[in-house]
């Protein structure tokens, strides 16, 4: 068993310094662009507007950096969507504090409130982009990875590893696993099994790891407590995956009852709140109207291409199940031939394997009904652009469960109650998690997880990830 090199042991300490540099550069870039907008391009531009360098390169960015630190946005290895939320609120607080300081210090003539507000908006965008690009670069070059030891080599460990691979916010160097009876063949074939649970202290001392992740939810509670107490003095962080898989994690809060040494976990159903439902609808309506204006020229070109390829209606409306079980016409660009249903029945009658695929997934990988332009529209997801109309009408949401047909209701079982809580979405967790590469059961679980864990930040992150998935054309057919 090899110990970590000096670089592996201490390189991750440089990570916070580099994050500070990236954040500082992002805030200064936002200030400089805001400065130019205030001088030349805004409707109330003032070519004589001037701010001393001490504010641009000193006071303002350091206030932003202070709130980023206070909000925990500089923490290493956090989910991307959590980072998005922390950065947003840090920028909001920084803008408010700067405006208050301007008022009390009477420097409003020097530092414009418009400049500060525009800087805040741009800083959010630049910080998000800077952090994402930085994380992608660090991961691709395998730099500054945090060494971590897993205790537990079962299915829970596999799920944690998949999350680490999927989320750019994590970048761990897996030193190895400890387990008395490893059950994951995939882990055993990929990573070293360094011993059993009783070897934890020896392996930690030998390798020099500072982070430990316990993924053994089946371990008896007393044994797990003893294990944590043994290793905690030897490491910086201990992360535990509790035996609570499937519980809603939206706004999950830990409540410590110190006198009795008990931890309570409080969770919320955000979509039961009328305010949150109104917030989601407002977000959909504003973004839907702006989005329709932006993509209307593209939709016009697509409509002409569809008609030239296969004359007929360019839009297709299919009945789908909406919020509270109400049926609605779900609009798409027509990507199939006009006699699609007859052709499908003939094809399924002659191909038993295709019929089994259709009955299992309600879609075909090699669908004979799709037109030439239809293949392109489906690969790029451009066939779904007309669903923006459904969003504006309130029948759909930008982000939500995958819209299903009536025959699919029975496949959801008891989880159909979660589906009925919100309008179905143009995109969602399924679309950004492999899309056609996932099983039907996984799709149902994803829809339920989204509803139970909804937040406006989750919608924002899924929209960002949807753009990435569509650009890479992952999993679509």
306/334 Cα distance (integer angstroms):
7
Domains of the chain: residue spans and CATH? 6-141 (no CATH), 146-245 (3.40.50.720), 272-335+370-472 (no CATH)
- C-beta atoms surrounding 180 within 10 Å: 13
39/61 Cα distance (integer angstroms):
20
30/430 Cα distance (integer angstroms):
34
Residue (of 395, 372, 398) closest to 385 by Cα position: 398
414, two tokens: 């008891």
388, two tokens: 């923006």
Strands 327-333 and 315-321: antiparallel
Sign of torsion, CA 413 418 423 429? negative
Residue found under tokens 């205790």: 151
332/315 Cα distance (integer angstroms):
6
14/181 Cα distance (integer angstroms):
37
| HSE (side-chain half, CA atoms, 13 Å) at 396 | 29
80/166 Cα distance (integer angstroms):
10
The pLDDT value recorded for residue 266 is 81
Residue (of 127, 117, 118, 138) closest to 84 by Cα position: 127
Task: Give the global pTM.
Answer: 0.70
403/384 Cα distance (integer angstroms):
12
62/459 Cα distance (integer angstroms):
30
187/152 Cα distance (integer angstroms):
10
205/222 Cα distance (integer angstroms):
23
H-type alpha helices, 313-455: 340-350, 352-361, 372-380, 387-393, 409-412, 416-420, 440-452
- Contact between 251 and 455 under an 8 Å Cβ cutoff? The reply is yes
Helix (H) or strand (E) holding 29: helix 15-36
List Cα–Cα distances, 15 to 10, 67, 85, 338, in angstroms.
10, 18, 20, 57
Q: CB burial class (10 A; 0-12, 13-18, 19+) of residue 342?
A: exposed
Strands 237-240 and 172-178: unpaired
The pLDDT value recorded for residue 437 is 61
Q: Tell me the pLDDT of the chain (477 aa) as tens digits.
A: 555 555 555 666 676 778 889 999 999 999 999 888 877 776 666 676 777 888 889 988 999 999 998 888 766 667 777 888 889 999 999 999 988 888 777 765 556 778 888 899 999 999 988 888 887 777 777 666 778 899 998 888 888 888 887 766 677 888 899 998 877 788 888 898 999 998 999 999 988 888 899 998 888 888 888 999 999 999 988 988 887 766 777 667 788 887 777 888 888 888 888 899 999 999 999 999 999 999 999 999 999 999 988 888 899 898 999 999 999 999 999 888 877 777 777 778 878 887 887 777 677 777 778 888 888 888 888 889 999 999 999 999 999 999 999 989 998 998 999 999 999 999 998 878 755 567 788 888 889 989 988 988 889 888 888 887 777 766 555
Residue (of 363, 356, 298, 360) closest to 336 by Cα position: 363
366/451 Cα distance (integer angstroms):
31
């Amino acid at each position: 068993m090899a110990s970590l090199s000096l670089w592996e042991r201490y390189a991750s300490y440089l990570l916070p310094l580099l994050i500070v540099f990236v954040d500082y550069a992002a805030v200064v870039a936002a200030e400089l662009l805001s400065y130019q907008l205030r001088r030349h391009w805004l409707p109330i531009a003032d070519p004589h507007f001037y701010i001393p360098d001490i504010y641009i390169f000193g006071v303002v960015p350091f206030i932003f950096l202070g709130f980023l630190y206070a909000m925990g946005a500089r923490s290493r290895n956090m989910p991307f969507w959590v980072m998005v939320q922390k950065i947003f609120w840090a920028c909001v607080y920084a803008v408010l504090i700067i405006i208050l300081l301007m008022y009390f210090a009477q420097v409003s003539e020097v530092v414009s409130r418009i400049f500060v507000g525009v800087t805040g908006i741009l800083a959010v965008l630049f910080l998000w982009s800077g952090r994402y690009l930085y994380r992608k670069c660090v991961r691709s070059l395998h730099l500054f990875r945090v060494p971590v030891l897993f205790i537990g080599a079962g299915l829970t460990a596999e799920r944690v590893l998949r999350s680490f691979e999927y989320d750019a916010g994590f970048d761990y160097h897996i030193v190895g696993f400890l387990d008395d009876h490893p059950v994951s063949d995939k882990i055993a074939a990929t990573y070293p099994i360094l011993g059993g649970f009783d070897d934890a202290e020896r392996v930690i001392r030998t390798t020099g790891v500072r982070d430990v992740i316990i993924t053994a939810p089946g371990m008896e509670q007393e044994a797990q407590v003893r294990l944590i107490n043994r290793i905690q003095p030897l490491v910086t962080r201990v992360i535990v995956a509790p035996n609570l898989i499937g519980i809603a994690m939206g706004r999950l809060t830990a409540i410590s009852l110190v006198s009795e040494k008990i931890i309570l976990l409080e969770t919320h159903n955000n979509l039961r709140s009328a305010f949150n439902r109104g917030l989601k609808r407002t977000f959909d309506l504003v973004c839907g109207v702006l989005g329709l204006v932006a993509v209307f020229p593209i939709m016009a070109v697509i409509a002409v291409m569809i008609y030239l390829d296969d004359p007929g209606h360019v839009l297709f409306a299919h009945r789908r199940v909406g919020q509270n079980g109400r049926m609605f016409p779900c609009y798409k660009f027509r990507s199939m031939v006009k006699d699609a249903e007859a052709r499908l029945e003939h094809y399924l009658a002659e191909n038993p394997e295709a019929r089994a695929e259709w009955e299992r997934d309600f879609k075909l990988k090699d669908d004979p009904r799709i037109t030439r332009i239809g293949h392109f529209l489906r690969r790029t997801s451009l066939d779904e652009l007309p669903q923006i109309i459904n969003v504006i009408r309130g029948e759909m949401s930008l982000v939500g469960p995958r819209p299903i047909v009536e025959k699919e209701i029975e496949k959801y079982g008891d989880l159909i109650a979660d589906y009925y809580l919100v309008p179905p979405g143009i995109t969602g967790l399924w679309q950004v998690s492999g899309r056609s590469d996932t099983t039907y059961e996984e799709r149902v679980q994803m829809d339920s997880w989204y509803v139970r864990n909804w937040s406006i930040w989750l919608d924002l992150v899924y929209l960002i990830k949807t753009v990435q998935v569509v650009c890479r054309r992952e999993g679509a057919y």
